[in-house]
Chain A
Amino acid sequence: MFQIFAKNRMWRKQPLKHRYEVVIIGGGVHGLSTAYYLGKLGVTDVAVLDKGYLGGGASARTTAIIRSNYLTPEGIPFFNESVKLYEGLAKELNFNLLFNQMGRLDLGHTDSAVYGLRMRTEFNRILGVDSRLIGPKEIKKLVPSIDLREGKHFPILAALYHPPCGVIRHDAVVWGYGRGADRQGAELHPFTEVTGIDRTNGRVTGVETSQGLVKANTVISATAGWSSTIAKMVDLELPITTHALQAMVTEPLKPFLDKTISSANLHAYVYQTDRGEVVIGGGVDPYPSYSQRSTFQQMEELAANTLEMFPCLKNVNVLRQWAGLCDMTPDYAPILGPVDGIEGFILSCGWGSWGFKAAPVAGKRVAELIATGETPELIKPFSLSRFREGNLVNERAAAPAAAIH
Protein backbone atom coordinates (compact mmCIF):
# COMPACT_ATOMS: atom_id res chain seq x y z
CA MET A 1 0.00 0.00 0.00
CA PHE A 2 3.02 2.27 0.42
CA GLN A 3 3.27 2.28 -3.33
CA ILE A 4 0.74 5.06 -3.49
CA PHE A 5 3.35 7.31 -1.89
CA ALA A 6 6.12 6.25 -4.29
CA LYS A 7 7.42 9.00 -6.54
CA ASN A 8 6.93 7.20 -9.82
CA ARG A 9 7.45 9.31 -12.86
CA MET A 10 4.45 9.59 -15.14
CA TRP A 11 6.79 9.25 -18.13
CA ARG A 12 10.49 8.64 -18.58
CA LYS A 13 13.02 11.32 -19.43
CA GLN A 14 15.10 10.04 -22.30
CA PRO A 15 17.77 11.40 -24.63
CA LEU A 16 16.51 12.34 -28.08
CA LYS A 17 17.45 9.69 -30.63
CA HIS A 18 18.45 10.47 -34.21
CA ARG A 19 15.81 8.33 -35.82
CA TYR A 20 12.18 7.40 -35.18
CA GLU A 21 9.51 5.73 -37.23
CA VAL A 22 6.95 8.40 -36.37
CA VAL A 23 7.50 11.93 -35.07
CA ILE A 24 4.50 13.78 -33.66
CA ILE A 25 4.84 17.56 -33.47
CA GLY A 26 2.81 18.86 -30.54
CA GLY A 27 2.55 17.24 -27.12
CA GLY A 28 -1.01 18.16 -26.31
CA VAL A 29 -3.97 15.89 -25.97
CA HIS A 30 -4.05 15.16 -29.71
CA GLY A 31 -0.37 14.33 -30.07
CA LEU A 32 -0.36 12.16 -26.97
CA SER A 33 -3.56 10.31 -27.82
CA THR A 34 -2.17 9.59 -31.29
CA ALA A 35 1.02 8.23 -29.69
CA TYR A 36 -1.05 6.14 -27.28
CA TYR A 37 -3.22 4.54 -29.97
CA LEU A 38 -0.18 4.02 -32.21
CA GLY A 39 1.33 2.00 -29.36
CA LYS A 40 -1.83 -0.08 -29.13
CA LEU A 41 -1.48 -0.90 -32.82
CA GLY A 42 2.14 -1.98 -32.33
CA VAL A 43 3.89 1.16 -33.61
CA THR A 44 6.11 2.00 -30.65
CA ASP A 45 9.06 3.79 -32.27
CA VAL A 46 7.37 7.14 -31.73
CA ALA A 47 8.58 10.51 -30.46
CA VAL A 48 6.27 13.30 -29.33
CA LEU A 49 7.96 16.71 -29.52
CA ASP A 50 6.67 19.88 -27.94
CA LYS A 51 8.23 23.32 -27.72
CA GLY A 52 6.89 23.82 -24.20
CA TYR A 53 5.75 21.42 -21.51
CA LEU A 54 3.26 18.67 -22.32
CA GLY A 55 -0.34 19.81 -22.48
CA GLY A 56 0.61 23.46 -22.06
CA GLY A 57 -1.07 24.93 -25.12
CA ALA A 58 -4.69 24.61 -26.14
CA SER A 59 -5.10 21.45 -24.01
CA ALA A 60 -4.54 23.57 -20.92
CA ARG A 61 -6.96 26.27 -22.01
CA THR A 62 -9.94 24.22 -23.10
CA THR A 63 -13.20 24.39 -21.17
CA ALA A 64 -13.30 20.58 -21.63
CA ILE A 65 -16.91 20.05 -22.68
CA ILE A 66 -17.44 16.66 -24.32
CA ARG A 67 -20.51 16.37 -26.56
CA SER A 68 -21.72 14.96 -29.86
CA ASN A 69 -24.90 16.92 -30.62
CA TYR A 70 -23.53 18.32 -33.86
CA LEU A 71 -25.37 18.94 -37.09
CA THR A 72 -23.70 17.19 -40.02
CA PRO A 73 -23.79 13.49 -40.95
CA GLU A 74 -19.97 13.65 -41.04
CA GLY A 75 -19.54 15.34 -37.67
CA ILE A 76 -22.10 13.49 -35.55
CA PRO A 77 -20.70 9.90 -35.89
CA PHE A 78 -17.17 11.27 -35.47
CA PHE A 79 -17.85 13.12 -32.22
CA ASN A 80 -20.16 10.34 -31.01
CA GLU A 81 -17.33 7.84 -31.20
CA SER A 82 -15.23 10.28 -29.21
CA VAL A 83 -17.84 10.52 -26.45
CA LYS A 84 -17.96 6.70 -26.34
CA LEU A 85 -14.17 6.54 -26.04
CA TYR A 86 -14.19 9.17 -23.29
CA GLU A 87 -16.77 7.10 -21.37
CA GLY A 88 -14.34 4.19 -21.10
CA LEU A 89 -11.14 6.20 -20.96
CA ALA A 90 -10.59 6.42 -17.20
CA LYS A 91 -10.73 2.61 -17.00
CA GLU A 92 -8.56 2.13 -20.05
CA LEU A 93 -5.84 4.53 -18.87
CA ASN A 94 -6.26 3.52 -15.22
CA PHE A 95 -6.32 7.19 -14.31
CA ASN A 96 -9.14 9.16 -12.72
CA LEU A 97 -10.31 11.69 -15.30
CA LEU A 98 -13.26 13.01 -13.22
CA PHE A 99 -15.57 12.63 -16.21
CA ASN A 100 -18.95 14.02 -15.22
CA GLN A 101 -21.68 13.42 -17.80
CA MET A 102 -23.93 16.16 -16.55
CA GLY A 103 -25.99 16.73 -19.71
CA ARG A 104 -26.37 19.86 -21.75
CA LEU A 105 -29.01 22.30 -22.89
CA ASP A 106 -28.59 24.29 -26.10
CA LEU A 107 -31.04 27.16 -25.79
CA GLY A 108 -33.22 28.53 -28.56
CA HIS A 109 -34.32 32.17 -28.22
CA THR A 110 -35.97 32.75 -31.60
CA ASP A 111 -38.20 30.73 -33.92
CA SER A 112 -35.38 30.25 -36.40
CA ALA A 113 -33.01 29.09 -33.64
CA VAL A 114 -35.62 26.56 -32.46
CA TYR A 115 -35.98 25.37 -36.05
CA GLY A 116 -32.22 24.82 -36.16
CA LEU A 117 -32.28 22.96 -32.85
CA ARG A 118 -35.10 20.73 -34.07
CA MET A 119 -33.09 19.89 -37.17
CA ARG A 120 -30.07 19.07 -35.01
CA THR A 121 -32.19 16.89 -32.73
CA GLU A 122 -33.52 14.86 -35.63
CA PHE A 123 -30.07 14.44 -37.20
CA ASN A 124 -28.75 13.32 -33.82
CA ARG A 125 -31.54 10.78 -33.28
CA ILE A 126 -31.22 9.26 -36.74
CA LEU A 127 -27.50 8.78 -36.14
CA GLY A 128 -28.00 7.26 -32.69
CA VAL A 129 -27.14 10.23 -30.48
CA ASP A 130 -29.28 10.82 -27.41
CA SER A 131 -30.84 14.27 -28.00
CA ARG A 132 -34.32 15.66 -27.66
CA LEU A 133 -36.08 18.99 -27.86
CA ILE A 134 -37.68 20.16 -24.62
CA GLY A 135 -39.89 23.10 -23.71
CA PRO A 136 -39.70 25.67 -20.89
CA LYS A 137 -41.50 23.42 -18.40
CA GLU A 138 -38.87 20.71 -18.57
CA ILE A 139 -36.06 23.28 -18.75
CA LYS A 140 -37.29 24.73 -15.45
CA LYS A 141 -37.25 21.26 -13.90
CA LEU A 142 -33.68 20.54 -15.07
CA VAL A 143 -32.28 24.03 -14.37
CA PRO A 144 -34.36 25.83 -11.73
CA SER A 145 -32.01 28.82 -11.64
CA ILE A 146 -32.44 29.79 -15.30
CA ASP A 147 -34.40 32.94 -16.16
CA LEU A 148 -37.48 31.82 -18.12
CA ARG A 149 -39.41 35.08 -17.98
CA GLU A 150 -41.31 35.83 -21.16
CA GLY A 151 -41.01 39.08 -23.07
CA LYS A 152 -37.33 39.70 -22.36
CA HIS A 153 -34.76 40.36 -25.04
CA PHE A 154 -33.73 36.73 -25.41
CA PRO A 155 -36.68 34.63 -24.15
CA ILE A 156 -35.98 30.91 -23.78
CA LEU A 157 -38.43 29.14 -26.08
CA ALA A 158 -36.97 25.64 -26.19
CA ALA A 159 -33.77 23.70 -25.68
CA LEU A 160 -31.92 20.79 -27.19
CA TYR A 161 -31.30 18.41 -24.29
CA HIS A 162 -28.24 16.20 -24.80
CA PRO A 163 -27.80 13.97 -21.70
CA PRO A 164 -24.41 12.33 -22.59
CA CYS A 165 -22.62 15.70 -22.67
CA GLY A 166 -19.98 15.89 -20.00
CA VAL A 167 -17.11 17.80 -18.51
CA ILE A 168 -13.73 16.22 -17.88
CA ARG A 169 -10.51 17.07 -16.04
CA HIS A 170 -8.50 18.13 -19.07
CA ASP A 171 -5.02 17.94 -17.51
CA ALA A 172 -5.74 14.40 -16.34
CA VAL A 173 -6.62 13.36 -19.88
CA VAL A 174 -3.28 14.73 -21.12
CA TRP A 175 -1.34 13.06 -18.30
CA GLY A 176 -3.23 9.78 -18.69
CA TYR A 177 -2.54 9.61 -22.40
CA GLY A 178 1.09 10.66 -21.81
CA ARG A 179 1.63 7.90 -19.26
CA GLY A 180 -0.17 5.37 -21.46
CA ALA A 181 1.94 6.30 -24.50
CA ASP A 182 5.15 6.15 -22.46
CA ARG A 183 4.34 2.70 -21.06
CA GLN A 184 3.82 1.40 -24.58
CA GLY A 185 7.26 2.61 -25.62
CA ALA A 186 6.71 6.05 -27.10
CA GLU A 187 9.15 8.79 -26.09
CA LEU A 188 7.89 12.16 -24.90
CA HIS A 189 10.21 15.12 -25.44
CA PRO A 190 8.99 18.41 -24.01
CA PHE A 191 11.01 21.61 -24.62
CA THR A 192 12.07 20.36 -28.05
CA GLU A 193 10.96 22.87 -30.64
CA VAL A 194 10.60 21.83 -34.25
CA THR A 195 12.18 24.49 -36.47
CA GLY A 196 11.97 22.81 -39.86
CA ILE A 197 10.86 19.72 -41.76
CA ASP A 198 13.22 17.97 -44.20
CA ARG A 199 12.03 16.52 -47.48
CA THR A 200 13.60 14.70 -50.40
CA ASN A 201 11.70 13.96 -53.61
CA GLY A 202 8.38 14.98 -52.11
CA ARG A 203 8.81 12.69 -49.10
CA VAL A 204 9.24 13.78 -45.53
CA THR A 205 12.54 12.50 -44.14
CA GLY A 206 12.78 14.12 -40.74
CA VAL A 207 12.52 17.23 -38.61
CA GLU A 208 15.02 19.84 -37.47
CA THR A 209 14.62 20.59 -33.78
CA SER A 210 16.21 22.81 -31.21
CA GLN A 211 17.95 19.64 -29.93
CA GLY A 212 19.27 18.57 -33.33
CA LEU A 213 18.21 16.67 -36.40
CA VAL A 214 15.73 13.78 -36.09
CA LYS A 215 14.98 11.45 -38.97
CA ALA A 216 11.49 10.03 -39.38
CA ASN A 217 9.35 8.26 -41.96
CA THR A 218 6.13 9.90 -40.84
CA VAL A 219 5.63 13.35 -39.35
CA ILE A 220 2.30 14.31 -37.80
CA SER A 221 1.39 17.94 -37.20
CA ALA A 222 -0.80 18.07 -34.09
CA THR A 223 -0.15 21.64 -33.02
CA ALA A 224 -3.28 23.58 -32.22
CA GLY A 225 -2.77 27.24 -32.91
CA TRP A 226 0.48 26.79 -34.83
CA SER A 227 -0.69 24.54 -37.69
CA SER A 228 -0.10 27.22 -40.31
CA THR A 229 3.46 27.76 -39.04
CA ILE A 230 4.23 24.02 -39.19
CA ALA A 231 2.56 23.64 -42.60
CA LYS A 232 4.75 26.43 -43.98
CA MET A 233 7.78 24.24 -43.20
CA VAL A 234 6.60 21.97 -46.03
CA ASP A 235 5.49 24.90 -48.23
CA LEU A 236 1.83 24.21 -47.58
CA GLU A 237 -0.78 26.89 -47.12
CA LEU A 238 -3.79 25.87 -45.04
CA PRO A 239 -7.35 27.21 -45.02
CA ILE A 240 -6.89 28.20 -41.39
CA THR A 241 -6.91 31.41 -39.40
CA THR A 242 -5.89 31.47 -35.75
CA HIS A 243 -8.25 33.19 -33.32
CA ALA A 244 -8.22 33.48 -29.54
CA LEU A 245 -11.20 32.01 -27.70
CA GLN A 246 -11.81 33.54 -24.32
CA ALA A 247 -13.20 32.08 -21.13
CA MET A 248 -13.41 32.95 -17.46
CA VAL A 249 -14.19 31.43 -14.08
CA THR A 250 -16.09 32.91 -11.16
CA GLU A 251 -15.52 32.43 -7.46
CA PRO A 252 -16.88 29.14 -6.04
CA LEU A 253 -20.59 29.02 -5.26
CA LYS A 254 -22.91 26.49 -3.67
CA PRO A 255 -24.04 23.89 -6.23
CA PHE A 256 -26.88 25.46 -8.21
CA LEU A 257 -26.33 24.23 -11.75
CA ASP A 258 -25.73 20.64 -12.82
CA LYS A 259 -26.04 21.05 -16.59
CA THR A 260 -23.96 22.67 -19.29
CA ILE A 261 -25.96 25.55 -20.70
CA SER A 262 -25.15 26.99 -24.10
CA SER A 263 -26.69 29.66 -26.25
CA ALA A 264 -25.63 30.23 -29.83
CA ASN A 265 -27.46 33.57 -29.99
CA LEU A 266 -25.72 34.85 -26.88
CA HIS A 267 -22.32 33.37 -27.88
CA ALA A 268 -21.88 31.96 -24.39
CA TYR A 269 -21.83 28.69 -22.52
CA VAL A 270 -21.93 28.15 -18.78
CA TYR A 271 -21.39 25.28 -16.37
CA GLN A 272 -20.55 24.79 -12.73
CA THR A 273 -17.51 22.71 -11.87
CA ASP A 274 -17.28 20.18 -9.06
CA ARG A 275 -15.45 22.86 -7.05
CA GLY A 276 -18.41 25.20 -7.42
CA GLU A 277 -16.77 27.68 -9.76
CA VAL A 278 -18.85 28.76 -12.74
CA VAL A 279 -17.01 28.40 -16.03
CA ILE A 280 -18.15 30.87 -18.67
CA GLY A 281 -16.84 30.60 -22.16
CA GLY A 282 -17.35 31.06 -25.80
CA GLY A 283 -16.18 34.50 -26.86
CA VAL A 284 -14.00 34.40 -29.98
CA ASP A 285 -12.09 37.49 -31.03
CA PRO A 286 -13.32 38.42 -34.51
CA TYR A 287 -9.78 39.14 -35.74
CA PRO A 288 -7.05 36.48 -35.96
CA SER A 289 -4.32 36.70 -33.37
CA TYR A 290 -1.62 34.60 -31.73
CA SER A 291 -1.86 36.61 -28.53
CA GLN A 292 -3.21 34.47 -25.69
CA ARG A 293 -4.62 37.34 -23.66
CA SER A 294 -8.18 38.27 -22.75
CA THR A 295 -9.91 41.49 -23.69
CA PHE A 296 -12.10 43.49 -21.37
CA GLN A 297 -14.69 43.95 -24.12
CA GLN A 298 -15.11 40.22 -24.69
CA MET A 299 -15.38 39.47 -20.96
CA GLU A 300 -17.92 42.24 -20.51
CA GLU A 301 -20.01 40.76 -23.31
CA LEU A 302 -19.68 37.26 -21.89
CA ALA A 303 -20.74 38.46 -18.46
CA ALA A 304 -23.73 40.39 -19.82
CA ASN A 305 -24.87 37.46 -21.94
CA THR A 306 -24.51 35.06 -19.04
CA LEU A 307 -26.65 37.33 -16.87
CA GLU A 308 -29.32 37.20 -19.58
CA MET A 309 -29.58 33.47 -18.78
CA PHE A 310 -28.68 33.55 -15.07
CA PRO A 311 -29.51 36.90 -13.43
CA CYS A 312 -28.75 35.20 -10.08
CA LEU A 313 -25.01 35.51 -10.90
CA LYS A 314 -25.07 39.30 -10.92
CA ASN A 315 -22.97 39.94 -7.80
CA VAL A 316 -20.51 37.11 -8.36
CA ASN A 317 -16.85 37.97 -8.86
CA VAL A 318 -14.70 36.70 -11.69
CA LEU A 319 -11.57 34.97 -10.42
CA ARG A 320 -9.60 34.13 -13.54
CA GLN A 321 -9.78 34.67 -17.26
CA TRP A 322 -7.76 33.28 -20.13
CA ALA A 323 -7.63 32.83 -23.89
CA GLY A 324 -6.56 29.89 -26.00
CA LEU A 325 -5.64 29.64 -29.66
CA CYS A 326 -8.19 28.13 -32.03
CA ASP A 327 -7.36 27.17 -35.60
CA MET A 328 -10.58 28.06 -37.37
CA THR A 329 -11.39 26.43 -40.68
CA PRO A 330 -13.96 27.94 -43.09
CA ASP A 331 -16.40 25.05 -42.49
CA TYR A 332 -15.86 24.56 -38.72
CA ALA A 333 -14.56 21.02 -39.19
CA PRO A 334 -11.06 19.66 -38.58
CA ILE A 335 -8.46 18.83 -41.22
CA LEU A 336 -7.34 15.24 -40.80
CA GLY A 337 -5.26 12.90 -42.89
CA PRO A 338 -2.48 12.84 -45.45
CA VAL A 339 -1.61 15.65 -47.87
CA ASP A 340 -1.43 15.10 -51.63
CA GLY A 341 2.11 15.56 -52.87
CA ILE A 342 3.83 15.43 -49.47
CA GLU A 343 4.27 11.80 -48.57
CA GLY A 344 4.70 10.98 -44.92
CA PHE A 345 3.21 14.27 -43.68
CA ILE A 346 -0.06 13.87 -41.81
CA LEU A 347 -2.28 16.69 -40.61
CA SER A 348 -4.34 16.67 -37.46
CA CYS A 349 -5.26 20.33 -37.27
CA GLY A 350 -8.00 22.89 -37.73
CA TRP A 351 -9.27 21.95 -34.32
CA GLY A 352 -10.98 25.27 -33.66
CA SER A 353 -13.14 25.03 -30.58
CA TRP A 354 -13.99 21.34 -31.12
CA GLY A 355 -10.54 19.83 -30.56
CA PHE A 356 -10.51 18.57 -27.01
CA LYS A 357 -13.76 16.65 -27.36
CA ALA A 358 -12.38 14.89 -30.44
CA ALA A 359 -8.96 13.92 -29.08
CA PRO A 360 -9.60 10.19 -28.52
CA VAL A 361 -11.27 9.53 -31.87
CA ALA A 362 -8.80 11.67 -33.84
CA GLY A 363 -5.83 9.98 -32.14
CA LYS A 364 -7.28 6.54 -32.69
CA ARG A 365 -8.14 7.06 -36.35
CA VAL A 366 -4.91 8.87 -37.26
CA ALA A 367 -3.00 6.02 -35.58
CA GLU A 368 -5.02 3.59 -37.68
CA LEU A 369 -4.15 5.58 -40.79
CA ILE A 370 -0.43 5.37 -40.00
CA ALA A 371 -0.45 1.70 -39.01
CA THR A 372 -2.47 0.50 -42.02
CA GLY A 373 -1.67 3.19 -44.59
CA GLU A 374 -5.35 3.60 -45.37
CA THR A 375 -7.55 6.51 -44.34
CA PRO A 376 -10.42 5.23 -42.13
CA GLU A 377 -13.93 5.95 -43.45
CA LEU A 378 -14.78 8.04 -40.38
CA ILE A 379 -12.15 10.70 -41.10
CA LYS A 380 -12.30 10.66 -44.91
CA PRO A 381 -14.71 13.63 -45.08
CA PHE A 382 -12.18 15.76 -43.14
CA SER A 383 -9.29 15.51 -45.61
CA LEU A 384 -7.54 18.67 -46.82
CA SER A 385 -8.61 17.88 -50.39
CA ARG A 386 -12.25 18.63 -49.51
CA PHE A 387 -11.59 22.31 -50.23
CA ARG A 388 -10.33 21.52 -53.71
CA GLU A 389 -13.25 19.15 -54.36
CA GLY A 390 -15.85 21.50 -52.93
CA ASN A 391 -17.02 18.97 -50.32
CA LEU A 392 -17.06 21.25 -47.31
CA VAL A 393 -18.55 19.85 -44.10
CA ASN A 394 -20.25 23.04 -42.86
CA GLU A 395 -20.53 22.14 -39.18
CA ARG A 396 -22.68 25.02 -38.01
CA ALA A 397 -23.29 23.51 -34.59
CA ALA A 398 -19.74 24.37 -33.49
CA ALA A 399 -19.53 26.88 -30.65
CA PRO A 400 -18.06 29.94 -32.41
CA ALA A 401 -19.83 29.39 -35.75
CA ALA A 402 -22.28 32.15 -34.94
CA ALA A 403 -19.65 34.48 -33.54
CA ILE A 404 -17.07 34.83 -36.28
CA HIS A 405 -19.03 34.86 -39.50
Chain B
Amino acid sequence: MAFLLNCPNCGERNVHEFRFGGEATSRPTPNSTPDDWIRYFYNRGNVAGVQREWWNHRYGCRKWFFALRDTVSNQIQETLWP
Protein backbone atom coordinates (compact mmCIF):
# COMPACT_ATOMS: atom_id res chain seq x y z
CA MET B 1 0.00 0.00 0.00
CA ALA B 2 1.37 3.39 -0.92
CA PHE B 3 1.46 6.15 1.66
CA LEU B 4 2.81 9.61 2.36
CA LEU B 5 6.05 10.14 4.20
CA ASN B 6 6.81 13.36 6.03
CA CYS B 7 10.36 14.31 5.12
CA PRO B 8 11.69 16.46 8.00
CA ASN B 9 13.18 18.76 5.37
CA CYS B 10 10.62 18.86 2.52
CA GLY B 11 7.31 17.89 4.13
CA GLU B 12 4.80 15.25 3.05
CA ARG B 13 5.66 13.42 -0.16
CA ASN B 14 4.71 10.19 -1.91
CA VAL B 15 6.62 7.17 -0.58
CA HIS B 16 7.95 6.44 -4.06
CA GLU B 17 10.18 9.52 -3.82
CA PHE B 18 12.02 7.79 -1.01
CA ARG B 19 14.41 4.94 -0.70
CA PHE B 20 13.89 2.49 2.16
CA GLY B 21 17.12 2.06 4.08
CA GLY B 22 16.31 -0.84 6.38
CA GLU B 23 15.46 -1.17 10.04
CA ALA B 24 17.37 1.05 12.40
CA THR B 25 20.07 -1.19 13.87
CA SER B 26 23.14 -0.40 15.91
CA ARG B 27 26.51 -1.41 14.56
CA PRO B 28 28.50 -3.77 16.80
CA THR B 29 31.80 -2.55 18.17
CA PRO B 30 35.10 -4.08 16.98
CA ASN B 31 35.17 -6.05 20.24
CA SER B 32 31.78 -7.66 19.62
CA THR B 33 31.41 -11.41 19.25
CA PRO B 34 30.87 -13.07 15.84
CA ASP B 35 27.29 -13.78 16.98
CA ASP B 36 26.64 -10.05 17.30
CA TRP B 37 27.96 -9.49 13.80
CA ILE B 38 25.81 -12.30 12.37
CA ARG B 39 22.79 -10.78 14.06
CA TYR B 40 23.69 -7.35 12.69
CA PHE B 41 24.27 -8.62 9.14
CA TYR B 42 21.31 -10.93 8.69
CA ASN B 43 18.70 -10.99 11.44
CA ARG B 44 15.85 -8.49 11.40
CA GLY B 45 13.12 -7.71 13.89
CA ASN B 46 10.60 -7.57 11.01
CA VAL B 47 7.90 -6.42 13.44
CA ALA B 48 4.23 -6.55 12.53
CA GLY B 49 3.69 -3.17 14.19
CA VAL B 50 5.63 0.03 14.74
CA GLN B 51 9.30 -0.08 13.82
CA ARG B 52 12.05 2.51 13.54
CA GLU B 53 13.61 2.60 10.09
CA TRP B 54 15.96 4.54 7.82
CA TRP B 55 14.59 6.45 4.84
CA ASN B 56 16.36 8.53 2.21
CA HIS B 57 14.63 11.27 0.24
CA ARG B 58 16.14 10.01 -3.00
CA TYR B 59 14.23 12.23 -5.44
CA GLY B 60 14.18 15.23 -3.13
CA CYS B 61 16.68 16.66 -0.69
CA ARG B 62 18.65 13.38 -0.55
CA LYS B 63 18.76 13.53 3.24
CA TRP B 64 18.64 10.43 5.46
CA PHE B 65 16.20 10.36 8.37
CA PHE B 66 14.33 8.03 10.72
CA ALA B 67 10.64 7.16 10.49
CA LEU B 68 8.45 5.35 12.99
CA ARG B 69 6.13 3.33 10.76
CA ASP B 70 3.40 0.83 11.50
CA THR B 71 4.22 -2.01 9.06
CA VAL B 72 0.66 -3.36 9.15
CA SER B 73 -1.21 -0.15 8.31
CA ASN B 74 1.78 1.70 6.78
CA GLN B 75 0.90 4.71 8.94
CA ILE B 76 3.81 6.99 9.78
CA GLN B 77 3.77 8.03 13.42
CA GLU B 78 6.77 10.31 13.36
CA THR B 79 9.79 11.24 11.28
CA LEU B 80 12.95 12.61 12.86
CA TRP B 81 16.56 13.49 12.16
CA PRO B 82 19.09 10.88 13.23
Q: Is A242 an interface residue (CB 8 A)?
A: yes
Chain A residue numbers with a CB within 8 Å of B46 are 228, 238, 240-242, 288
Q: Which residue of B lies closest to A297 (CB)?
A: B16
Q: Does B29 contact A (CB under 8 A)?
A: no
Which of chain A's residues have a CB closer than 8 A to the CB of B1? Answer: 244, 289, 291, 293-295, 323
- Residues from chain B with a CB closer than 8 A to the CB of A53 are none
Contacts of B61 in A (CB 8 A): none
Contact A228 B44 (CB under 8 A): yes
- The answer to whether B48 and A240 have CB atoms under 8 Å apart is no
Contacts of A387 on B, CB cut-off 8 Å? 38, 41-43
A291 to B3, CA, bound (A): 11
A386: nearest chain-B partner, CB-CB:
B42
Contacting A at CB under 8 A, from B27-82, are 35, 38-39, 41-48, 53, 71-74
Query: Does B13 lie at the interface of the complex (its beta carbon under 8 Å from any beta carbon of A)?
Result: no
User: Which residue in B2, B19, B45 is a CB contact (below 8 Å) of A295?
Assistant: B2
Q: Please pick, from A238, A286, A290, A296, the residue contacting B72 in the complex, using a CB distance under 8 A.
A: A290
Q: Once the chains bind, are B44 and A289 in contact (CB under 8 Å)?
A: no
User: A9 in the interface, Cβ–Cβ < 8 Å?
Assistant: no
Q: Bound state CA distance, A289 and B72, in angstroms?
A: 6
- B48 and A241 contacting across the interface, CB-CB below 8 Å: no
Contact A237 B44 (CB under 8 A): yes
Q: Which of chain B's residues have a CB closer than 8 A to the CB of A217?
A: none
CB distance from B24 to the nearest CB of A (A): 13
A330/B42 contact (C-beta < 8 A), A229-B48, A287-B15, A287-B20 known: yes
- Give chain A nearest CB distance to B55 CB in angstroms: 8
Could you tell me if A286 and B45 are in contact, using CB atoms closer than 8 angstroms? no
A288's contact among B38, B39, B71, by CB below 8 Å, is which? B71
A330 to B74: give the CA distance in the assembly, Å: 23
Most buried by A among B15, B19, B20, B45: B20
CA distance A86 to B69 in the complex (A): 40
Q: Which residues of B contact A323 (CB under 8 A)?
A: 1
Q: Which residues of A in the span 61-99 have a Cβ within 8 Å of any Cβ on B? A: none
Report the nearest B residue to A327, measured CB to CB. Answer: B46
B2 touches A297 (CB 8 A): yes
CB distance from A341 to the nearest CB of B (A): 12
Q: From the candidates A237, A290, A296, name the one contacting B48 in the complex (CB within 8 A).
A: A290
Q: Are B2 and A296 in contact (CB under 8 A)?
A: yes
* In the complex, chain B residues whose CB is within 8 Å of the CB of A226: 48
A237 touches B74 (CB 8 A): no
CB distance from A368 to the nearest CB of B (A): 27
Residues in chain B near residue A136, CB distance under 8 A: none
Find chain A residues with CB under 8 A from B2 CB.
295-297
CB pair B20–A237 under 8 Å, yes or no, is no
A residues 357-405 in Cβ contact with B at 8 Å: 387-388
Residues of B within 8 A of A293 (CB): 1
In angstroms, Cα B12 to Cα A241, docked, is: 26
Q: How far is the CA of A297 from the CA of B16 in the complex (A)?
A: 8
Q: Min CB distance, A348 to chain B, in Å?
A: 17
Near A by CB (< 8 A), chain B positions 1-23 give 1-2, 14-16, 19-20
Q: Which residues of the other chain, B, contact A241 by a CB distance below 8 angstroms?
A: 44, 46
| Chain A 276-307 per-residue mask, 1 if CB under 8 angstroms from chain B, else 0 | 00000000001111110111110000000000
Known: A237-B45, A242-B46. A291 touches B74 (CB 8 A): yes
Query: Closest CB of chain B to A87's CB: distance in Å?
Result: 35
Q: In the complex the two chains form, is B74's CB within 8 Å of A238's CB?
A: no
In the complex, what residue of chain A is closest to B35 when comparing beta carbons?
A388
Asked, given contacts A297-B2, A388-B38, whether A291 binds B44 with beta carbons under 8 Å apart, the answer is: no
Identify which of residues 130-158 in chain A touch chain B, using a CB-to-CB cut-off of 8 Å: none
Per-residue CB contact flags for chain A residues 3-14 toward chain B (1 = under 8 Å, else 0) read 000000000000
Q: Is the CB of A289 within 8 A of B74?
A: yes
Pull 12 A–B residue pairs with CB atoms less than 8 Å apart, ordered by A. A226-B48, A239-B44, A240-B44, A242-B46, A286-B20, A289-B1, A289-B74, A290-B72, A291-B1, A291-B73, A297-B2, A388-B35
Q: A288-B46, A297-B16 are in contact. List 15 more A-B contacts (CB 8 A).
A: A238-B46, A286-B19, A288-B71, A289-B74, A290-B71, A291-B1, A291-B71, A291-B72, A294-B1, A295-B2, A296-B2, A323-B1, A330-B42, A387-B41, A387-B43
Q: Which residues of B contact A (CB under 8 A)?
A: 1-2, 14-16, 19-20, 35, 38-39, 41-48, 53, 71-74
